[in-house]
Amino acid sequence: MDVARLIEIYLEHLQARKLAANSLRAYRRDLESVAGELVELTGTGADRLAVDLVTASVLRSAFARFAASRSASSVIRAWSTWNGFFGFLVIEGAVSGNPMQVVPKPRNAPSTPKPLQGEDTPERLLRTVAAGARQARNPWPERDLAVLATLLCTGVRSAELLELTVGSLAGRAGDRRLHVHGKGGKNRSIPIEDTLDSLIQSYLESRRVRFGDRLPGGEPLFVDHHGEALRRGGLQYLVRQSLRAAGVSDRVQPGAMVHALRHTFATRLAEDGASAAEIAKLLGHSSINSSQTYIDVTAREQRLSVRANRTLQVLGELSGG
């Protein structure tokens, strides 16, 4: 059978496991990119590349070409994707063995946190956006402030934020929590303090005024200026322009941008005394580190950890609390 068809079968298998749309797109991108290198190396058409032609030697060459213009982390991710792909083919009986075991895998240097630099940067960013300083043809400071505050005070990943619905915000005022569908299908519940809740409620009210719609639980929590679900590009643009308006674009480390707000959340928790277990739980990490099993944290301890975050202090000021 040809590789292109087997890739589609594998992606259907992954889709049946209810993976996030972003994850499925990443799998497809890695599979098709390396397959493109295989097609060139073997001199066959994309729809005529038989899996029998994909030997360990050809795969090594394909990954060498693939790695030439990509970071180690991108190559490692693609390697893992293809390793999973061939593991699936072995189980399905499409191939007799997994050739990825002899394809070199680069070592991934330990990643270091990349929070916003500067002691007052988060507060400066929030105050600037609340004042409506971000230039836009159709200004919506309530939405912008709610998005940035949610990123800074919950530590959710950008993909997680974009998947939030109105129903993700649960509980009564004073005991609000954000239910997050996390990476790898793992769900978690993050305490929401009153100051952040107040900003989100103000945004939702401004949204009702703009579009005159009811907001059932299944509706996306954050939307664009047309009332459609906020997308990845729109979120990146919002954060980039907000940083620029606040004059702090130079305080974002290379490769961070939206993720810098998540790192800022975690860094401030650590600085204010939260334990590694508490931070891992709030961020949705599966483990504290590679050698330590994860530790459950009670809801009360999580709430105390969030409450210690100094970024929340400015939210009370901006929400009039």
| Residues recognised as catalytic | 157, 183, 259, 262, 285, 294
Q: Using CA atoms, how far apart are residues 105 and 82, in angstroms rounded to an integer?
A: 11
Q: Which residues pair with 159 in a beta bridge?
A: none
- What stretches of the chain adopt beta strand conformation (E)? 169-170, 176-181, 187-192
Exposure string (b/e) for 49-84, b if CB count within 10 Å is 16 or more? beeebbeeebbebbbeebbeeeeeebbbbbbebbbb
CA quadruple 59, 64, 65, 71: dihedral positive or negative? positive
Closest C-alpha among 216, 212, 214, 260 to residue 235 = 260
Q: How far is CA 274 from the centre of its chain?
A: 22
Residues 298-320, buried b or exposed e (16+ Cβ, 10 A)? eeebbbebbeebebbebbeebbe
Query: 49 with 35: CB under 8 angstroms?
Result: yes
- Cα 252 to Cα 125: distance, rounded to the nearest angstrom: 12
* Beta carbons of 295 and 288 less than 8 angstroms apart: yes
- 253 backbone φψ class: left, alpha, beta (φ>0; ψ -120 to 50): beta
Query: Reduced to 3 states, what is the DSSP secondary structure of residue 237?
Result: helix
